[in-house]
A and B are shown apart, each in its own frame.
Chain A
């Protein structure tokens, strides 16, 4: 992987701060979407058009409270107001790519800049026992889904590679290459040590993921297992609210005409003696997975937001890897790959016939 070499000796935050300031000041972009440090250690997104707003910027915050894809979709449905640089984590960039395929974000004129992601602290653990940053030596300071994440870098248009001999900005798309070019950056440095770091960590994470999935299947496999898994679900629908992919205005589960009216249950009951009421909890979770698993980017927002500590993120992520495998699709990876359910092939999926 070739990239633009940067000066050594600086940390991730200051490299990103310098870079976005220079991009804005040189006029390569008109605005920057980035996190900032608000009062009481909160990290709201800001859309900055002046570099002075970067004083309090926090490009790689220790927690994820609003998924970047969701933040971007809130205003970038059609981008006509100049070029925008977005500093976001790899899973947020993948969500943005998925949302662009669903026409919720217009990625023209947007540069997604990601980095070697350190993962984030679970929202429930942030600030407790002095935990203010994810610490690789303390697994409990990193969300379970981050610990098994294999797509922790090389997403979006440009990626900040920090774990090689010297830091570099690696262009991943034509737009990314052109953007670095417009800043006068040569992208001809090659650093094998970074790729080695990536491959080693990826292998390690794949092993963790495999073990975690085996455990999940073992404990919660089958309908009874799922019932057990969701027995603590309080139907708050937080998982849906925070999910960047759940973009419907009204969820199927809340649509009145998709539910049997009370009279239908009574009618059924009066003819059959008793009517079994379908569990809305399971219907919701299985229905949600059927709707969004092909686009799930494994960001872990759902799990972080669950008040009952249900490993919902790990479950959906596992289901997602199974469903996307069927179509040879990777959610959010390549903007050119069409959404599998929007693509018709005359000959496919014969193994599922009969």
Chain B
């Protein structure tokens, strides 16, 4: 341990959830002897308002530079405690959680064994934080423009509503003209005329997206020579009937789904964030479904979905809003990279590109989500997942196994 380290360990009882099974006092007492640990305390419910206040005070009072929180799953409260660290003036990446609830208290029957196991996890977390480095967050401004893929009833309805709110929209339509599958209905002809008359709406016909990269607030949709930037994407691609009389997505949709890395059902329709509670959202932030693109529906449903999508986008994609970028990205060492491009094959975010001149790969830190796939796959050990370095893993393992 570096002599200057000031680590604080907080063991949460989580009401009765952890405290009834694990001897948290024993854990606090045991780890307080570890070099670098200046404070080891227990608390009833750290995620409560009082708990967060207590935590922030302790960090400031004791000038802690590292924090270990033994509590629930990081999926539950990592963000909560990172925020507490930030308010207390500590870089949030100097905090590490040890999951002693889901991984121990709820699954290990014997109390003594549970305490032993929890102690190991806490030791591992202390070891890991000794190798943590502060990472800086940055944010980028959202692009308020919208790309609508498909110029049928749903796509046009959503576009017109968004245009009414002064948003700029690009409709990308595969066929040579707007209208979709109902283009001979009078009402659709009216819609087409309205869309054509709006200066806020740019219509690109005869083209399909060939590449989609980015995330909520900053998508780039490439089509031919065009590169359209937008903060949100509306899938309004409609559907078809196959030879068995089943409803299936329009031709070309599977490619779009693949570019967005969105999961699809057995017919190929995109999954929704929630069938009843979030029916026009997808699991991908900033990507929405309107009309038959999500499965066959009637006119009334298509229009109301288009309205819902427009409303959702206007409430979320507010001009000037900033989104934080992931600081836990991967970095590639130019001196170690051999340009084999294995990383590009395993990257799920299109975040790695190849530099022909230098014959090395580089990570776009804005697109990178820090999953670490590339670092694991690199045959030359040239990629480092920040916040998941070999050193951090080794110290965590040593802490657990010792």
Q: Find out whether the CB atom of A291 lies under 8 angstroms from the CB atom of B338.
A: no
B380 and A78 within 8 A (CB): no
Taken residue by residue from 65 to 103, chain A's Cβ proximity to chain B (1 for < 8 Å, 0 otherwise) reads as 000000000000110000000000000000000000011
Taking the closest CB of chain B, its distance from the CB of A106, in whole angstroms, is 11
Cα A250 to Cα B391 in complex, Å, equals 18
Whether A52 sits at the interface, judged by CB under 8 Å, is no
B356, B359, B377, B379: the one within 8 Å of A248 (CB): B379
Looking at the assembled complex, report how far the CB atom of B102 sits from the nearest CB atom of chain A, in whole angstroms. Answer: 23
Nearest A residue to B35, CB-CB = A267
A291 vs B398: C-alpha distance when bound (angstroms):
25
Residues of A near B380 (CB, < 8 A) are 247-250
How many interface residues does A have (CB within 8 Å)? 20
Residue numbers in A under 8 Å from B340 (CB-CB): 102-104, 247
Q: How far is the CB of A346 from chain B (nearest CB, A)?
A: 14
A279 contacts B by Cβ under 8 Å: no
* B338 close to A104 (CB less than 8 A): yes
**In the complex the two chains form, is B381's CB within 8 Å of A252's CB?**
yes
Contacting residues of chain B (386-402) with chain A, CB-CB under 8 angstroms: 389-391, 394, 398, 402
* B336, CB-defined interface residue at 8 Å: yes
Residue of B339, B381, B402 touching A77 (CB-CB under 8 A): B339
The answer to whether A291 touches B394 (Cβ under 8 A) is no
CB proximity of A108 to chain B, nearest CB, Å: 15
Min C-beta distance of B392 to chain A, whole Å: 11
Contact A250 B359 (CB under 8 A): no
| B402 interface neighbour in A103, A250, A271, Cβ under 8 Å | A271
Chain B residues touching A, majority SS:
loop
- Across the interface, name the chain A residue whose C-beta is closest to B335: A249
Which residues of the other chain, A, contact B335 by a CB distance below 8 angstroms? 249-250
Chain B positions within 8 Å of A77 at CB level: 339, 359
Chain A, range 194-220, C-beta contacts under 8 Å to B:
none
Given contacts A248-B380, A342-B342, contact A258 B390 (CB under 8 A): yes
Residues on the B chain within 8 Å of A255, using CB: 381
B397 nearest CB across to chain A (Å): 11
A-B CB pair tally, cutoff 8 Å:
50
Q: Is B258 an interface residue (CB 8 A)?
A: no
B359 to chain A: closest residue by CB? A77
Asked whether any CB of chain A lies closer than 8 Å to the CB of B369, the reply is no
Q: How far is the CB of B345 from chain A (nearest CB, A)?
A: 6
* Distance A103 CA – B359 CA, assembled complex (angstroms): 10
User: A78 touching B341 by the CB < 8 A rule?
Assistant: no
Residues in B neighbouring A260, C-beta threshold 8 A: 394
How far in angstroms is the closest Cβ of chain B from A325?
21
A250 CA to B402 CA, complexed, in Å: 31
Answer yes or no: A40 CB below 8 A from chain B CBs. Answer: no
Cross-chain contact B394 with A103 (CB below 8 angstroms): no
Q: A102-B379, A255-B381 are in contact. Are A250 and B336 (CB under 8 A)?
A: yes
Residue A257 CB within 8 A of the other chain: yes
Chain B residue with Cβ nearest A99: B340
Check A258 against B381 for contact (C-beta < 8 Å).
Answer: yes
Alpha-carbon distance between A250 and B380 when the two chains are bound, in angstroms: 7
Inter-chain CA distance A291–B378, complex, in Å, is 11
The chain B residue with its CB closest to the CB of A248 is: B380
Contacting pair A247 B381 (CB below 8 A): no
Chain B, 316-351, CB within 8 A of any chain A CB: 335-342, 345-346
Pick 16 A–B contacts, CB within 8 A, sort by A: A102-B338, A103-B338, A104-B339, A104-B340, A247-B338, A248-B380, A249-B337, A250-B336, A250-B381, A252-B381, A258-B381, A260-B394, A264-B394, A271-B402, A341-B377, A342-B377
Going nearest first, the 7 A-B pairs with the smallest beta carbon separation are A248-B380, A103-B340, A102-B340, A103-B341, A249-B336, A252-B381, A250-B336
Q: Which residues of B contact A (CB under 8 A)?
A: 335-342, 345-346, 356, 359, 377, 379-382, 389-391, 394, 398, 402
Known: A260-B394, A271-B402. 17 other contacts (CB 8 A): A102-B338, A102-B340, A103-B340, A247-B338, A247-B340, A249-B335, A249-B336, A249-B338, A249-B380, A249-B382, A250-B336, A250-B380, A252-B381, A258-B381, A342-B345, A342-B346, A342-B377
